[in-house]
């Protein structure tokens, strides 16, 4: 049981950090972030910063004092694909 939990934790950790690495690659890369129950924000290097707080990555909007977790974001690429939350 412990091995199963540790392996799932590893998989979820790598998936959660995917958006941070995609965000850092280019200023034009955009992320779609689920901020609330039915609220979404577009995030790029032009309007947000990455903060490392208490062992987790958070996005902070530049003009606002608003933080939300990086694992709530999904890379938005130019090809057509469905966005599922």
C-alpha distances in Å from residue 34, one per residue of 1, 3, 4, 7:
31, 30, 28, 26
Residue 33: phi, psi to the nearest 5?
-115, 135
Cα–Cα distance, 11 to 43 (Å, whole number): 24
Q: Is residue 82 part of a domain?
A: no
For residue 31, give the 3-state DSSP assignment: strand
35 belongs to a structural domain: yes
Q: 39 lies in a domain?
A: yes
pLDDT (tens digit, 9 = 90+) per residue, 41-79?
888 889 999 888 888 888 898 988 888 888 888 887 766
Q: When comparing pLDDT for 78 and 1, which is higher?
A: 1
**Domain range for 6:** 2-76
Instruction: Give the total number of structural domains in the chain.
Output: 1
pTM for the model: 0.65
| 83 falls within a domain | no
């Amino acid at each position: 049981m412990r091995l199963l939990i540790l392996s799932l934790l590893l998989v979820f950790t790598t998936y959660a950090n995917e958006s941070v690495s995609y965000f850092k690659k280019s200023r034009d890369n955009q992320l779609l972030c689920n901020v609330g129950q039915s609220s979404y924000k577009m995030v790029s290097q032009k309007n947000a910063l990455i903060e490392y707080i208490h062992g987790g990555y958070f996005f902070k909007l530049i003009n606002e004092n608003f933080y939300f977790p990086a694992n709530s974001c999904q890379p938005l690429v130019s090809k057509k694909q469905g966005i599922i939350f």
